[in-house]
Structure 1
């Protein structure tokens, strides 16, 4: 293949088991939004269920419905979807037994309209805005939302299956917002309980809180980045210190190797010029494949047992590496990032080199990069494009 992202499902299952060991009685939701952070939604969801995750988390309704269409039933895993607009699709979600996040009375009205049209009750999770400022009901709107949901529940139109919120600064231990949000969430829970709600799950913790804030675990933690073997708090500890292993390896076959003289410009703009006679290798992936253009002159990779650096600008489909006096052959493997076992860069190394976070590095790997699944294929072998 020109390039591929190798997805180690055994590592993913191991990561989930490691997270479950840290969260005690709290269940683990495997967050598979954004094509499982670029790893392939359906294969990763199946592997997560195999590892004991009874919950799957998605952002968009299309993602949630895609899991059901792939054959993942409500008996295997509850699916929560949290990013809704008035367009829905509300009826399809209710019919597919998707748990629907509700952040305001407008959304609750859409859910109830769908319930009446479909003829079956819905499962909703009421979301409180405890300080992140995105979705969720503000404290002054929360009692009315809770009351409306409780009234609908009393009519048999829905079940309030969850009450939840989301941290803003859990990746910064000791940040005052963490204590404030935890207190705000406890207050929101008290309001819900006083109104007569008895949710199945209360959930607040994301990956960093799952790893560092046991007081925030409640009944369920939502594992996103951590289940893919990357540390959400790299300045505190790497994945190995949490018992995690990176799941994705991104690699490509060299498309050209040639000798060039000193003073030879490389790639657009000639931001890199060879200092002496040297060997250039062409790596056939670029920003259309998810390689950040910011990696120009800085992106690390592994060729021939050595750490290399992108020479010149990253183009749409390719970039160049200066191998110096070393030899290589067309077809030799260039590893952009992986677990780091062989000395190759990791996604965190790419994040540091390009001034971003590892979440973005793995999530942006493009649809034209095939995913190849190893370690138990999650129901598939090779998925063309962005994964199953």
Structure 2
């Protein structure tokens, strides 16, 4: 056991993938971008495949390359490239690329040799981020069809992304889905017949059945974190990540003693404090200073003062029977006094995605359950 580590429960990930696949009832694409949201790309990918993930999805070409290099032979989608990317090896490996523009299609065509590319088209349905704007659809779909006829590629999918799926009543959801339907119709009118049509992220997979089409992309929910924590939906998601550390030091401080940089907290009475050897370099959000809690001895203990680069100070209480070396759970699955990633997100003014994805730095990673344990 390490002095400070991320513990990932692969059985929880397998459970979540299975639950989501059964709920959706369509092709399951598990998103493993950003080192599987901080959980570890390769172990999570293997676990997701074994649990029924039909596709894996990454942001970058390098993430997709790493999956192939590790022996993954199943369908993989990747979607965010920049001008001048190298495509030749990715095409040979049968990885599905995403094109937003005619210029991207031209670059892909230039990289095709003896193996046709696999390409999906992303359309912007109202998020104003990646994807082709409506004004560019005609040219994009025409170029896509011409390349298909020429044998440069197969157009394997058309997709987009929802901006407000975690708010079921937001009017953007209906509006974006209507635009996506228009895009599908325009693609078909251009002679395209993509195998996959996908719009739903984790929140829409759970909350918006009409957005599932014939495939869904589930990211955060695959890791057991709720994509819509303000909505009661009853989906049995099991958080897979626990961040823990050994308590480095326990000391007594007197009433009037102040803690950490800037003296932002002063003890109103005598108390014991503990030093936890992790800080913002390891992903503890500095914005949570004075608001985060951790679990020590099965009880929640407040973080006092400013979160430092390498350590935080927690208030153990005057009567705490705690000593150096005791276990500290920063966050993990609910129960036994543990704060959750959602608790940390709320205390820090962010979302649970950021809490798990930023955990790292000098933390080691250990797996339990599954074949990686």
How many residues get paired?
A: 371
Q: Deviations along 1:84-136, whole A, 9 cap, x unmatched?
A: 101312122212221000000010011101103xx210000011111011111
Of 333, 338, 346, which residue of structure 1 is paired with 2:340?
346
Counterpart check, 1:101 vs 2:94 = no
Deviation (angstroms), 1:260: 2.0
For residue 341 of structure 1, report the CA deviation from its aligned partner: 2.3
Cα separation, 2, equivalents of 1:336 and 1:64: 31
Aligned to 1:21: 22
Shift of 1:324: 1.4
5+ residue gaps, structure 2? none
Partner residue of 2:65?
Answer: 65
- Find the counterpart in structure 2 of residue 364 from structure 1: 358
User: What is the 5 A alignment of 1:1-388?
Assistant: 1-24=2-25, 26-73=26-73, 77-116=74-113, 119-237=114-232, 241-325=234-318, 326-377=320-371, 380-381=372-373
Contact kept, 8 Å, 1:210 with 1:217, in 2: the verdict is yes
Mapped to 1, the partners of 2:135 and 2:219 lie a distance apart of 30
For 1:137-167, what per-residue CA distance to the aligned partner results, in whole angstroms no more than 9, with x for missing partners?
1111101111111111111110000011111
Following the alignment from structure 1 to structure 2, what is the Cα–Cα distance between the partners of residues 158 and 67? 22
Q: Distance in 1 between matches of 2:98 and 2:221?
A: 23
How far has the Cα of 1:277 moved from its partner? 2.0
Provide the aligned C-alpha RMSD in A.
Answer: 1.1
C-alpha displacement of 1:200: 1.2
1-structure distance, mates of 2:125, 2:365:
38
8 Å CA contact 2:156, 2:194 repeated in 1: yes
Matches of 2:93 and 2:86, distance apart in 1? 11
Q: Is the 8 A contact 2:29 2:54 kept in 1?
A: yes
1:262, distance to aligned residue in structure 2 (A): 2.0
| Secondary structure at 1:279 match in 2 | strand
Task: Return the TM-score normalized by structure 2.
Answer: 0.97
Tell me, yes or no, if the aligned pair for 2:247 and 2:275 is still in contact at 8 Å. Answer: yes
- The residue that corresponds to 1:385 in the other structure is none
Contact 1:279 1:327 in 2 (8 A): no
**Structure 2 Cα separation of the partners of residues 160 and 36 of structure 1:** 26
**Matched residues in 2 for 1:92 and 1:271: separation?**
54
CA offsets per residue over residues 329-352 of structure 1, 9 Å max, x none?
111011111111223110000011
User: In 1, Cα distance between the equivalents of 2:324 and 2:39?
Assistant: 27
Once the 2 structures are TM-superposed, how far is the Cα of residue 4 of structure 1 from its aligned partner?
0.8
Structure 2 residue aligned with 1:384: none
Render the CA deviation track for 1:158-210: whole Å, top value 9, x for unaligned.
00000111111111111111111101111110111122211111100000000
Distance 1:272 1:221 in 2: 47
For 1:237 and 1:224, the matched residues in 2 are separated by 19
2:135 aligned counterpart, secondary structure:
coil
**Distance (whole Å) between structure 2 residues aligned to residue 366 and residue 344 of structure 1:** 19
Return structure 1 stretches of 4+ with deviation > 3 angstroms.
none
CA contact (8 A) 2:94 2:117 kept: yes
Q: Following the alignment from structure 1 to structure 2, what is the Cα–Cα distance between the partners of residues 269 and 174? A: 44
Q: Provide the secondary structure at the position in 2 that maps to 1:204.
A: strand
Find the counterpart in structure 2 of residue 386 from structure 1: none
SS at match of 2:112: helix
Q: Is the 8 A contact 1:3 1:370 kept in 2?
A: yes
